[in-house]
């Protein structure tokens, strides 16, 4: 049915006319029977009856009546809300905060957890890894991947990829590009099509194939002004020419590991790493796959385990104990944050409940002030149902206005939340206020409206009309006060739960910040340096000389206190491992029987630069170079694990990929490679240091196009980054320095999700505390106001101001303490859901619980104190005369 105002007006006019014609015909009949026109008309009019009522009843038949009543209720509701702007403002603001916070968080949860991945048939997508005896999700070797691809029956496509940095030259200033080595099917698996051009064809990813590349839309725009002519042109990457085959749209995004902001995609076969064709070398490749339609993940696992066992039979040296790990892609992408987001969603739900309770309280207080109004309305014939509907209309009106405002707040809050989480959130780009989120907002707004509207509505129902009118609107019935008391208890309890959760997060983060990472992170800068493209063809000796030159130039920069080249692992940032065995023990027959250690390739000043303590022996010197015998330094974890009860100094180990036998010359402190929190629980923690200049020639050849550099600088040195950059530029034209990052930044980024959950929970908790104290204040003021007369009498009878103060305070504190008790007990049960987010503090940490409960009690006391003081100042004469 269309409800049109104009149509309606026309029908009104027609009804008037119809009744008028009826009247005239009746009068005409009477006149025909001999009555005077005047008489006839009056009699006809009388016979017709109550014209207004007839119209009213007839109009109801048009089916618009409910709209009309709604319209009346809305108009009346708006008038009532406008009449008390204070109440309306507070209620709407409270609701807007509650609904806004919920909408913002829900939009994050929706984008990250609920929405399917933005690829066709996302349920078919899985993540692939190679499982090793002690490690579920290891990297996949290229030959193994080729066999997986060939032998599986359950995948329609699979692909592997790994990150890389290329130096782009010949197109403006030389710069470093984030690149990705991929196999041909990479974009086929995801169902992503190039903006223009094509993706890689089968076998274009083979070793020895022609060099081609796909570029990001961003790079295409920046370097080729988005011209289609770019296709077929060449890019000079690390001095080699790659023909551009296609452009990948900017909308493409994959929240997986280090996969973000990729500038250029290159087929795997173009990687000049000599280990690429080796079956035992994972080289950091991780895979994605698309299951054939209808294939379950279990079927795929069974299939791949068969493939793996035939590979193990064919290549026992490298593939014994090697399997395939298959996990749903979405789970891999969002797995870690789901607990966090759900805890936050629960928390924000509490905030909204508190907001609703507050508004319900306000409505209750107002409803009692309006008892007379309702009594009069029902005396004039409004039914109970109509009154309840009126109250619900008013509360829904409030809730919807609050909701609309909340949606605005949420738009802003979501952006703020994403900024806070700074890259720690997978799928962040999919978070937005879309129709689903707005629907959620609408639904919770309506639910809130009903929730807090129902309390006063039910209260109004079943009240005796007579008593109310006689009572003169004071309405001091105990029942209502009890309802308000319960609401205060509930909101205090919920606020306490939130405060305790936030308190636990604060304690966790403090505990984490106090963890010693094993090195001094202050004033340490890391960045990458790449030698000019012609160095591609240099000898290992030439590269060593060039790197030594870079070292010298940087040493001369004012403010640099110590520096070191760094290859392989970088604490809390990237890891690299070496296979080894210990001299004196039988030589392992296969790589499977060798041991792993984290491996850092550094120079002599590394220890000084990082502030890592030397425990025994010595660290490297400039004499540990390509001409001297190989030496390594190990950390205390390595020493304890492989040389229990012995002196490791002077022992020898064989390094599988770093030139064989090396002597241990020193032991240093352990560095928390895997992160402040998770390092202790990792299985691979042994660390070894290898002198950079002793890198075997093939490895040295690889380092020409990008090696890490770390610098400890004087804290007073201004713009150290710029000085370093100009020093490197000063060496020669095409030296490239990549973006700098401080170690402190790296540590801080590794804690992004903890910081996010702490700040968000903290904000929610403070919001809850503020709302709850406003609520307590409101109720205590109201109750004290109700008792003005009683207080007046008490004082007239000799009660001291102090007694009144104590009485009112105790009234409020009774409720608060009951709420604190309930909240305390509930928290004991609830906080264990967030145990996985906590560190160094138990989920029921008594200190946090007690301190937070005390804080809440004190805030509540303050909230009660203001109305109590006001009550204390009551002038008995005024209070009594008031009636």
- Name the site residues for other proteins (rule: CB under 8 A): 14-15, 17-19, 21-22, 24-26, 28-29, 47-50, 53-54, 57-58, 60-63
Q: How far apart are CA 409 and CA 351, in angstroms?
A: 15
Residue 234 has which token pair?
């060449």
Residue 121 has which token pair?
């048939």
Q: How far apart are CA 348 and CA 199, in angstroms?
A: 45
Radius of gyration for the alpha carbons in the chain, expressed in angstroms and rounded: 38
Indicate the residue among 21 and 590 with the shorter CB distance to other proteins.
21
Indicate the residue among 21 and 621 with the shorter CB distance to other proteins.
21
Task: Find the shortest distance in angstroms from Cβ 57 to other proteins.
Answer: 5
Q: What are phi and psi of 243, to 5 degrees?
A: -80, 130
Indicate the residue among 51 and 443 with the shorter CB distance to other proteins.
51
Task: Find the shortest distance in angstroms from Cβ 375 to other proteins.
Answer: 25
Residue 591 has which token pair?
């790589």
Task: Find the shortest distance in angstroms from Cβ 25 to other proteins.
Answer: 4
Indicate the residue among 25 and 302 with the shorter CB distance to other proteins.
25
Residue 852 DSSP one-character state = H
Helix/strand/coil (H/E/C) assignment for every residue in 770-795: HHHHHHHHHHHHHHHHHCHHHHHHHH
**Contacts of residue 854, Cβ cutoff 8 Å, sequence gap at least 6:** none
Contact 850, 494 (CB under 8 A): no
Burial 63-100 (b: 16+ CB within 10 A, else e): ebeeeeeeeebeeebeebbeeeeebbebbbebbbbbbb
240: left (phi over 0), alpha (psi -120 to 50) or beta: beta
Indicate the residue among 56 and 583 with the shorter CB distance to other proteins.
56
Q: How far apart are CA 642 and CA 588, in angstroms?
A: 15
Q: How far apart are CA 463 and CA 663, in angstroms?
A: 92
Q: Which residues pair with 327 in a beta bridge?
A: 127
Task: Find the shortest distance in angstroms from Cβ 5 to other proteins.
Answer: 19
Task: Find the shortest distance in angstroms from Cβ 27 to other proteins.
Answer: 10
Q: Which residues pair with 564 in a beta bridge?
A: 710
Task: Find the shortest distance in angstroms from Cβ 350 to other proteins.
Answer: 49
Indicate the residue among 60 and 682 with the shorter CB distance to other proteins.
60
Q: How far apart are CA 627 and CA 475, in angstroms?
A: 98
Task: Find the shortest distance in angstroms from Cβ 41 to other proteins.
Answer: 14
3-state secondary structure of 148: helix
3-state secondary structure of 548: helix
Task: Find the shortest distance in angstroms from Cβ 63 to other proteins.
Answer: 6
Task: Find the shortest distance in angstroms from Cβ 65 to other proteins.
Answer: 11
284: left (phi over 0), alpha (psi -120 to 50) or beta: left
Task: Find the shortest distance in angstroms from Cβ 51 to other proteins.
Answer: 9
Indicate the residue among 60 and 373 with the shorter CB distance to other proteins.
60
Task: Find the shortest distance in angstroms from Cβ 12 to other proteins.
Answer: 12
């Amino acid at each position: 049915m269309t409800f049109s105002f104009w149509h309606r007006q026309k029908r009104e006019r027609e009804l008037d006319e119809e009744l008028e014609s009826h009247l005239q015909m009746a009068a005409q009949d009477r006149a025909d029977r001999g009555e005077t026109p005047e008489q006839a008309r009056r009699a006809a009019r009388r016979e017709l009856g109550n014209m207004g009522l007839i119209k009213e009843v007839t109009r109801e038949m048009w089916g618009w009546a409910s709209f009309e009543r709604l319209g009346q209720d809305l108009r009346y509701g708006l008038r009532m809300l406008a009449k008390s702007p204070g109440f309306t403002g507070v209620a709407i603001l409270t609701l807007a905060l509650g609904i806004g916070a919920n909408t913002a968080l829900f939009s994050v949860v929706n984008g990250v957890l609920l929405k399917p991945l933005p690829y066709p048939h996302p349920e078919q997508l899985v993540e692939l890894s190679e499982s090793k005896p002690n490690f579920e999700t290891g990297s996949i070797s290229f030959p193994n991947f080729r066999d997986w691809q060939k032998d599986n029956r359950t995948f329609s496509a699979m692909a592997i990829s790994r990150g890389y940095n290329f130096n782009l030259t010949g197109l403006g200033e030389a710069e470093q590009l984030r690149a990705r080595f991929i196999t041909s099917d990479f974009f086929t698996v995801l169902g992503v099509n190039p903006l223009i051009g094509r993706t890689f064809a089968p076998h274009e990813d083979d070793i020895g194939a022609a060099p081609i590349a796909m570029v990001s839309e961003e790079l295409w725009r920046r370097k080729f002004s988005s011209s289609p002519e770019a296709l077929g042109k060449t890019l000079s990457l690390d001095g080699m020419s790659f023909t551009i085959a296609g452009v990948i749209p900017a909308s493409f995004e994959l929240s997986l590991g280090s996969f973000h902001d990729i500038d250029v995609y290159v087929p795997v076969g173009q990687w000049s790493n000599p280990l690429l064709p080796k079956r035992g070398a994972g080289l950091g490749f991780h895979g994605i796959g698309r299951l054939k339609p209808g294939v379950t993940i279990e079927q795929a696992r069974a299939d791949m385990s068969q493939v793996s066992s035939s590979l193990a039979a064919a290549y026992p040296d490298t593939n014994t104990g090697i399997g395939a790990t298959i996990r749903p892609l979405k789970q891999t992408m969002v797995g870690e944050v789901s607990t966090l987001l759900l805890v936050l969603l629960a928390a924000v739900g509490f905030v909204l409940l508190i907001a609703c309770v507050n508004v319900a309280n306000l409505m209750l207080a107002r409803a009692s002030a309006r008892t007379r109004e309702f009594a009069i309305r029902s005396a004039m014939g409004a039914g109970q149902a109509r009154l309840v509907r009126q109250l619900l209309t008013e509360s829904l009106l409030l809730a919807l206005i609050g909701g609309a405002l909340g949606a605005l707040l949420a738009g802003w809050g979501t952006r703020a939340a994403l900024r806070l989480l700074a890259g720690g959130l997978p799928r962040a780009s999919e978070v937005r206020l879309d129709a689903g989120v707005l629907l959620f907002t609408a639904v919770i707004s309506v639910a809130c409206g009903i929730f807090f509207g129902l309390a006063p509505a039910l209260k109004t129902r079943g009240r005796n009309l007579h008593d109310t009118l006689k009572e003169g609107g004071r309405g001091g019935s105990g029942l209502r006060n009890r309802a308000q008391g319960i609401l205060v208890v509930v909101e205090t309890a919920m606020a306490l739960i939130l405060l305790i959760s936030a308190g636990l997060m604060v304690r966790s983060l403090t505990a984490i910040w106090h963890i010693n990472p094993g090195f001094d992170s202050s004033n340490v800068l890391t960045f990458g340096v790449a030698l000019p493209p012609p160095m591609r063809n240099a000898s290992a000796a030439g590269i060593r000389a060039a790197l030594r030159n870079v070292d010298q130039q940087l040493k001369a920069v004012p403010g640099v206190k110590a520096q070191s080249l760094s290859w392989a692992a970088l604490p809390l940032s990237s890891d690299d491992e070496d296979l080894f065995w210990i001299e004196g023990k039988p030589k392992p027959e296969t790589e499977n029987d060798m041991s792993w250690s984290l491996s850092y390739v550094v120079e002599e000043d590394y220890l000084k630069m990082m502030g890592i303590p030397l425990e025994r022996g010595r660290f490297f010197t400039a004499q540990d170079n390509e001409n001297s015998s190989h030496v390594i330094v190990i950390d205390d974890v390595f020493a304890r694990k492989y040389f229990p009860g012995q002196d490791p100094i002077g022992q020898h180990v064989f390094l599988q990929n770093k030139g064989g036998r090396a002597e241990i010359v020193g032991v240093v402190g352990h560095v928390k490679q895997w992160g402040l929190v998770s390092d202790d629980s990792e299985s691979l923690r042994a660390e070894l240091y290898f002198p950079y200049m002793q890198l075997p020639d093939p490895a040295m050849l690889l380092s020409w196009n990008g090696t890490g550099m770390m610098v400890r600088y004087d804290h007073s040195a201004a713009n150290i980054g710029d000085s370093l950059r100009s020093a490197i530029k000063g060496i020669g034209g095409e030296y490239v320095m990549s973006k700098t990052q401080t170690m402190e930044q790296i540590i801080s980024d590794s804690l992004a999700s903890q910081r996010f959950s702490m700040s968000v929970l903290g904000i929610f908790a403070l919001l809850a505390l503020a709302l709850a104290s406003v609520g307590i204040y409101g109720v205590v003021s109201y109750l004290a106001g109700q008792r003005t007369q009683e207080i007046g009498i008490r004082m007239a009878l000799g009660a001291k101001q102090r007694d009144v103060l104590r009485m009112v305070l105790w009234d409020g504190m009774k409720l608060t303490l009951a709420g604190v008790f309930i909240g305390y007990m509930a928290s004991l049960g609830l906080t264990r859901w967030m145990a996985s987010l906590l560190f160094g503090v138990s989920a029921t940490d008594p200190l946090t619980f007690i301190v937070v409960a005390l804080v809440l009690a004190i805030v509540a006391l303050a909230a009660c104190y203001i109305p109590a003081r006001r009550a204390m100042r009551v002038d008995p004469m005024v209070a009594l005369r008031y009636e």
